[in-house]
């Protein structure tokens, strides 16, 4: 008898479903039915629609669907958090449907949360794509950096790197100069280098005088600002010594982070984030079925 289930990575604006049989992905599809696209009370109908498409197979849902803005608040598992703890804390709002909790870390110094990224992170180490003791990074709107020990998430920090780039481009005085594409070039590298004085507020303003005084071509400003922000992010994480960083990213964003990691004394290795998600969710299913 085959072992089949549906895994859904259900985020804020997107949703990706993987039909998985005997540990291998049979089919996958992505759509824009993130949790914000589901009307209040509408999740049961969404589940019914998935069952029409995929049959009455068990489902494991991860991501913002388990937040207080999603279907059911699946809470958080505190660090250190491994796959066993996530499986044990999963919520079952209706028969055959399991919602994975997020992960939190709290001490007197700092609090942080993640929801959805934990499956990728733990899958990467469970499958051997990254070592059981490693620093992992998931760049994006809210960039996650996770310290893994013995295969569990023991600590992590989130930086609003991507969100701040979008805010500056869309709404700041310097935004009008940021219309160009970001490239992994010498201008980006200069932004990374300028992040080394830990003075982001002044360096960001500096985009405007550089434009007014004709010291930089305006189309390069987006690359420079991206370099400043990604450089600041990597610098803060590698301040106490460069090390290997396993990047769960597409090649473009991964390439930008690799440049900044290298400039800060580290070494970047790219990991396939979709494969890591599948590996993580398959391990969770093995623990929960």
Q: Does 149 bind its own copies (CB under 8 A)?
A: no
* Spatial distance between the Cα atoms of 68 and 75, rounded to a whole number of angstroms: 8
What tokens were used for 258?
């690799």
Per CB under 8 A, the segment of 33-41, 57-65, 195-203, 248-256 that binds its own copies is 195-203
Is residue 30 within 8 A of residue 16, CB to CB? The reply is yes
Identify the residue among 167, 185, 217, 265 touching its own copies (CB under 8 A).
167
Q: Does 240 bind its own copies (CB under 8 A)?
A: no
* Spatial distance between the Cα atoms of 158 and 122, rounded to a whole number of angstroms: 17
Per CB under 8 A, the segment of 31-39, 51-59, 109-117, 263-271 that binds its own copies is 109-117
Q: Which is nearer to its own copies, 107 or 181 (CB)?
A: 107
Q: Does 233 bind its own copies (CB under 8 A)?
A: yes
Q: Does 197 bind its own copies (CB under 8 A)?
A: yes
**Closest CB 118 distance from its own copies, rounded Å:** 14
**Closest CB 13 distance from its own copies, rounded Å:** 13
Q: Which is nearer to its own copies, 56 or 201 (CB)?
A: 201
Identify the residue among 215, 240, 241, 251 touching its own copies (CB under 8 A).
215
Q: Which is nearer to its own copies, 34 or 58 (CB)?
A: 34
Identify the residue among 1, 52, 56, 213 touching its own copies (CB under 8 A).
213
Q: Does 113 bind its own copies (CB under 8 A)?
A: yes
Identify the residue among 3, 4, 205, 244 touching its own copies (CB under 8 A).
205
Contact string 28-57 vs its own copies (x = CB under 8 A) = ------------------------------
- Tell me how many residues contact its own copies (CB under 8 A): 44
Q: Does 77 bind its own copies (CB under 8 A)?
A: no
* Spatial distance between the Cα atoms of 97 and 59, rounded to a whole number of angstroms: 5
Is residue 94 within 8 A of residue 115, CB to CB? The reply is no
* Spatial distance between the Cα atoms of 117 and 125, rounded to a whole number of angstroms: 13
Which backbone phi and psi does 138 adopt, to 5 degrees?
A: -115, 95
Is residue 69 within 8 A of residue 35, CB to CB? The reply is yes
* Spatial distance between the Cα atoms of 98 and 89, rounded to a whole number of angstroms: 10
Is residue 206 within 8 A of residue 165, CB to CB? The reply is no
Q: Does 24 bind its own copies (CB under 8 A)?
A: no
**Closest CB 178 distance from its own copies, rounded Å:** 13
Q: Does 204 bind its own copies (CB under 8 A)?
A: yes
* Spatial distance between the Cα atoms of 82 and 122, rounded to a whole number of angstroms: 7
Q: Does 199 bind its own copies (CB under 8 A)?
A: yes
Collapse the DSSP code of 71 into the 3-class scheme (helix H, G, I; strand E, B; otherwise coil) and give the result: coil
Residues that bind its own copies (CB under 8 A): 68, 76, 104, 106, 110-113, 142-143, 157-161, 163-164, 167-168, 170-174, 197-202, 204-206, 208-210, 212-213, 215, 229, 232-233, 236, 239
């Amino acid at each position: 008898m085959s072992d089949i289930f549906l895994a859904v990575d259900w985020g804020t604006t997107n949703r990706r479903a993987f039909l998985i049989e005997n540990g291998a992905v049979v089919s996958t599809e992505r759509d824009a039915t993130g949790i914000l696209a589901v009307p209040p009370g509408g999740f049961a109908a969404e589940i019914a629609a998935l069952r029409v498409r995929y049959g009455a197979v068990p489902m494991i849902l991860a991501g913002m669907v388990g937040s207080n803005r999603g279907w059911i608040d699946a809470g958080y598992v505190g660090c250190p958090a491994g796959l066993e703890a996530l499986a044990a804390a999963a919520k079952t709002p209706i028969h055959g449907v399991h919602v994975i909790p997020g992960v939190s870390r709290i001490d007197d110094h700092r609090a942080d949360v993640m929801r959805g990224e934990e499956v990728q992170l733990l899958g990467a180490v469970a499958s051997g794509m990254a070592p059981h003791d490693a620093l992992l990074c998931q760049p994006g709107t809210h960039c996650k950096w996770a310290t893994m020990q013995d295969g569990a998430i023991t600590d992590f920090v989130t930086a609003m790197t991507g969100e701040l780039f979008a805010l500056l481009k869309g709404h700041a005085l310097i935004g009008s100069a940021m219309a160009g594409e970001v490239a992994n070039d010498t201008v980006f590298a200069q932004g990374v280098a300028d992040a080394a004085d830990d003075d982001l507020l002044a360096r960001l303003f500096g985009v405007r005088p550089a434009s007014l005084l004709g010291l930089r071509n305006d189309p390069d400003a987006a690359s420079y600002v991206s370099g400043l922000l990604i450089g600041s992010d990597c610098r803060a994480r590698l301040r106490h010594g460069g090390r290997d960083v396993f990047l769960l990213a597409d090649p473009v964003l991964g390439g930008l982070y690799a440049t900044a990691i290298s400039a800060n004394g580290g070494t970047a290795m790219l990991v396939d984030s979709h494969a890591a998600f599948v590996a993580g969710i398959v391990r969770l299913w093995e623990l929960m079925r």
